[in-house]
Each structure stands twice: as structure tokens, then as C-alpha cells.
Amino acid sequence: MVQVETAQLTAECESWRQVLRLYREEFTQDKTKLQLAASRTLSKDQLQQVDHLHNQFHIQLINIHDLKQAIKNHDRKIGYEMREQNGLNEETVAEHENLFNQYQTLEHTLQELREEFNSFLSRT
């Protein structure tokens, strides 16, 4: 068993989930904005970009959901191990680091999508 500050791990999990909730709300609204932009007369290239952005929003909303669920399950596992074992398994600590890496990678992807979408809106 590994002795770590579980309150910090739990706080990190909650923080990650909150950021992902905000991205989910933003991208859900952005999908609506994209539909409005698509209702205007657009060039073939712009229509292709609308299709690309629509697909990316769909994919990234799924990724957000999946990672949020993984973080939630991990947080529950931390609580369980602390209650039942009075400490965390090394695998659980390693999983936390892995989830943090996944979170950072997804957040980078989401920021790029945000920039791509805003650039598209400014051109249409």
C-alpha cells in the first residue's frame, strides 16, 4: 500500500470533472452555433469544414463523457480503498497519473478544437 494524500487526489478528480463539464456545456452550445452557421449560404470548402467540426464536436463530447466516467470510477475506487484497506494500492496511484495524462491530452485537443471553431466562425 502506498501512503499518499487522498484528499489531494480526490480534489484533483473533482477539478478535472468540473473542467470537463464546462467543456461539455461549451461544445454543446457550439454545436448549436455551428448549425446556425450551416443554415447560411456557404462554399463547398466551408460546408466540408462544417461537417468536420460537427464530427469533431460529436467525437469530443463522447471523449469528455468517457473520461469523466473513468475519473468518477477512479475517485470511487480511491474512497473504497481508503475505507476498506486504509491505503491505496500502487496500481490506483499509477491509474491516477494515467488519468491525469489522458486529461491533459484531451484538454489540449479540446483547446485546439475551440480555436479551430472560433477561427471558422470569424471567417463565415
**Digit-coded pLDDT (tens) for 16-64:** 999 999 999 999 999 999 999 999 999 999 999 999 999 999 999 999 9
* DSSP type of residue 58: H
Q: What is the mean pLDDT of residues 6-24?
A: 96
- Residue 27's pLDDT is what? 98
- Residue 72's pLDDT is what? 98
pTM, entire model: 0.91
- Least-confidence region, from 43-57, 65-79, 80-94: 80-94
Q: CA angle, corner 121, sides to 119 and 123, nearest 5?
A: 75
